[in-house]
Structure 1
Amino acid sequence: MIRALLLGSAMVALPAAAFAQDEAAAYSDGLSYGPRPFFLIDKMEDGPLKQELMSCMGQTPERTKFSIGHRGAPLMFPEHTVESNHAAAGQGAGVLECDVTFTADKELVCRHAQNDLHTTTNIVATDLASKCTTPFSPASGDTEATAECRTSDLTLEEFRTLEPKMDAANAAATTAEEYLAGTADWRTDLYANDATLMTHAESIALFDRLGADFTPELKSASVEMPFDGFSQEDYAQKLIDEYKEAGIDPSRVWPQSFDFNDVVYWIENEPEFGAQAVYLMDDSSIEGLDGMDPETWGFVPEELKAQGVNYAAPAMPFLVTLDEAGEMVPSELARQLKDADIGIIAWTLERSGPLANGGGWYFHTVTDAIDRDGDYYEILDVLAQDVGVEGVFSDWPATVTYYANCKGL
């Protein structure tokens, strides 16, 4: 068993070229959980769930749409790269994500934000640094190092010259080279060398070859829209057009946005794609959401459904809360979305690192019930069995894939 796990863990780190001939077949035949799910199960508190998950240790990994690669597998690989998505596909993720933004020449590329190049690439240490909206400024005294570099600062040709890295920056840096450091100690730079950036169109081709479906997120622009005549509607339409040009069936695509206007645009103008449009929610996009008081939400789930919204994706902490006994239970938001027959997708498991300290923002509504790494599976079980989510984003999809396979999801 250990030898198989080590071989499987090594497989997901192979370079993109290793599977260029028949990637889908390679990943269908060679899916691997790697060691992490077993590590987390070992760290669980003894009980029925731990025993059930242990009983599945001999199961054969199978791809599942319940497992969604969040930017690929960025716990260990630079996000939104070919390699990160190879890793996610190798761990059985049935749906992969490209966060979509645009360059100066209005080409769509995969980045978590239009203005994240200074933390996700080496741009501040290249000749393109002078093109940044805010060039690198070193730390001095109590002032932290700063920079802001946008995809819209560059043409696609210039964007392609950048080297992706783990998302991080060193706020104490006095040089651009120092600024590129800062990877969290629970992540790694082991697989950051020679990673490959992607356009949105390239991500479509890659995910299709890997046998996965698609959940692109239309990111908010950092520039004022319209941008050089490129309107928000043009932007939303171009995302859909690239799937149509690639011949992708709309049933395989779940387009996402925090901007409700984008979701409505897809529903009204591209109804086949709009039927699976996902309305993303957090406390910055929905006023009052953090308080879980329906009177402060600014929306009614039944009204969302009436407007054609079939899927919503609240951040994970807004789907679970603690009851009087301190047990994790579905939130009021989760209950009302289910009552409105709106499918729920949760984000993002394994985004916060080790759980011994309570897990950070992604667990802030259930902190008192979180004290060990094995609790990743406890909250995942509540999301799946009690909240009834239809999929879970994770920074390491193998964790979710293992659970889904064991539970027959």
Structure 2
Amino acid sequence: MKIRPGLGALALLIATPAAAETHATDTGLSYGPRPAWLISQMDEGDLKTRLQACSGQTPTRSNFSIGHRGAPLMFPEHTVESNVAAASMGAGILECDVTFTKDHELVCRHAQNDLHTTTDILVSDLADTCATAFTPASGDEDATAECRTSDITLAEYRTLSPKMDAADGSAITAEDYQGGIADYRTALYGNGTTIMTHAESIELFRALGAKFTPELKSPVVDMPHEGFSQQDYAQKLIDEYKAAGVPASDVWAQSFNLDDILYWIENEPDFGAQAVYLDDRYEAEDADEGLIDPMDASTFKPTMSELADMGVNYIAPPLWMLVTVQDGEIVPSVYATEAKAAGLNMIAWSLERSGPLNDGGGWYYQSIEDVTDNDGVTYDLVDVLAQDVGVVGIFSDWPATVTYYANCLGLD
């Protein structure tokens, strides 16, 4: 088994000394070519003219720009390198999705059971620890596997090499299964990237001059897990910020589980004040209804005003829930209007996640697909989210896009 040293994130940065020196301040930030290219694709109009007029501006860090798992459009998510890239684009807040290992150590991974698509575990000595072994494609059935952080120790986790999140469903071998990267992403920056624990992410993000938005991921194992309860899990996430001396005002802890949010509000009120409820109402008709399915009590969702009464101050739905199309224009949705009326701060996720916009943009743009016919619509959407919906931040898989807009429009 190949053992990787358990270096702290600052030690890892020594491998890229320019990053450690440059990103601790706001010098040396760069938008790269993407914002200008997106602007060039826009239809003529006042917004395009205004954005073009900012072409000579100096990039500055903005909390409005949030790195979604770093910069995974081109870098393996939740790696040191992905987050260094996001910080270099001016992302003021960076994300570590948090799950736990067999020995209940917190690590950065989008799901507890995604190791088979985000690391090389299936072609490593740890393949036999997977909950579901690799099964090759056969007939109409795709290749499958499932590998969990909760089935390996932290020491074993450290031996894994991250890769772009993908799998080749047609694979006959575990080696072939490592492919399948979407054609709008790349493996160019995948080699030699570095996996992180949650504690290391705190150290790294602080060194990069960024703030923090960890997401407590839902376990796929039954809780309590060997005595480790959901409350223990939620508390340990907060405790790692307290141990690092990070002020609560720099942390926006997220969860899809409302009980986690309410736990933080009650037990860690300073952190709970900025806790972000990731709302999974995914249909327009779910906008502000208490019970989505009258026959299923598990679908209960508090109204916006009820959330506010519970002490929730931040809500984060997917992009398409915040906007709709009216008379051929992108406008705020009923959902957004009601959340704003309740006094909730809104954060949108996730820009540049589901592919190019010249053919509708995919999953994240489903409510505006009728007007999504070129990549320039990215900035039309960002403008409506910022100016009309009034979001306080936008997650992006390539933060330079949002940073450029925030800098141009004077957003913090």
The TM-score normalised by the length of structure 2 is 0.93
Shift of 1:82: 0.1
Secondary structure class of the residue paired with 2:117: helix
Q: Secondary structure at the match of 1:381?
A: helix
Aligned to 1:301: 304
What residue in structure 2 maps to residue 224 of structure 1? 222
Q: 1:280 to 1:21 in 2, by over 3 A?
A: closer
1:24–1:209 contact (8 Å) kept in structure 2: no
Q: Which residue of 1 aligns with 2:162?
A: 164
Contact 2:288 2:338 in 1 (8 A): no
SS of the equivalent of 2:348 reads strand
Superposition pairs of residues 10-409 of structure 1, within 5 angstroms: 17-19=15-17, 22-23=20-21, 25=23, 28-283=26-281, 289-295=283-289, 298-323=301-326, 325-409=327-411
Gaps in structure 2 of 5+ consecutive residues: 1-11, 293-300
Q: Is the Cα–Cα contact under 8 Å of residues 325 and 367 in structure 2 kept in the other structure?
A: yes
Q: CA deviation at 1:262?
A: 0.1
* Distance apart, 1:25 and its partner CA: 4.8
Change (3 A) 1:41 1:274: same
- Give how far 1:15 is off: 7.6
Alpha-carbon shift at residue 23 of structure 1 (Å): 3.8
Q: Separation in 1 of the partners of 2:287 and 2:272?
A: 28
Q: Using a 3 Å threshold, how does the CA distance of structure 1 residues 235 and 23 change in structure 2: closer, same or farther?
A: farther
Query: Structure 2: which amino acid aligns with 1:380?
Result: V
1:3-52 residue CA offsets vs partner (Å, 9 max, x unmatched): xxxxxxxxxxx986223784465552100000000010011111111000
Residue 367 of structure 2 aligns to a residue whose secondary structure is coil
Identity %: 64
Q: Is the 8 A contact 2:93 2:211 kept in 1?
A: yes
Q: Is the 8 A contact 1:101 1:151 kept in 2?
A: yes
Aligned equivalents of 1:83, 1:21: Cα separation in 2: 10
Q: Deviation per CA, 1:91-114, whole angstroms, max 9, x where unpaired? A: 000000000000000000000000
CA shift in 2, pair 1:26/1:254, >3 Å: closer
Q: 1:110 to 1:20 in 2, by over 3 A?
A: farther
Letter paired with 2:391: V
Q: Is the 8 A contact 1:183 1:189 kept in 2?
A: yes
Q: Quick one: structure 1 residues 256 and 359, their matched pair in 2 at CA, closer, same or farther if it must change by over 3 Å?
A: same
User: Offset of 1:293 from its aligned partner?
Assistant: 4.7
Could you tell me how far apart the structure 1 residues matched to 2:161 and 2:373 are? Answer: 37
2:123–2:175 contact (8 Å) kept in structure 1: yes
Structure 2 SS opposite 1:142? coil
Calculate the aligned-residue CA RMSD, in Å: 1.5
8 A contact 1:37–1:398 mirrored in 2: yes
Give distance in 2, aligned partners of 1:275 and 1:174: 49
Instruction: Report deviation, 1:300.
Output: 1.4
Q: Is the 8 A contact 2:13 2:19 kept in 1?
A: no
Per-residue CA deviations over 1:47-99 (Å, capped at 9, x if unaligned) read 11100000000000000000000000000000000000000000000000000
For residues 152-203 of structure 1, what are the alpha-carbon distances to aligned partners after superposition, in whole Å with 9 as ceiling and x for unaligned?
1110000010010000000000000000001111100000000000000000
Q: Distance in 2 between matches of 1:186 and 1:124?
A: 24
State how far apart, in whole Å, the 2-side matches of 1:283 and 1:144 are. 29
Amino acid paired to 1:258:
F
Equivalent pairs, count: 391
Cα offsets for 1:95-151 (capped at 9, x unmatched): 000000000000000000000000000111111001000010111111110000000
CA contact (8 A) 1:16 1:83 kept: no
Distance 1:22 1:172, change over 3 A: closer
Distance 1:87 1:233, change over 3 A: same
Q: Quick check: 1:101–1:108 contact (8 Å CA) kept in 2?
A: yes
8 Å contact from structure 2 (residues 248, 270) kept in 1: yes
Structure 1 unaligned runs (5+)?
A: 1-13
TM-score by length of 1: 0.93
Contact 1:350 1:394 in 2 (8 A): yes
Q: Distance in 1 between matches of 2:48 and 2:334?
A: 27
What amino acid does structure 1 have at the position aligned with 2:390?
G
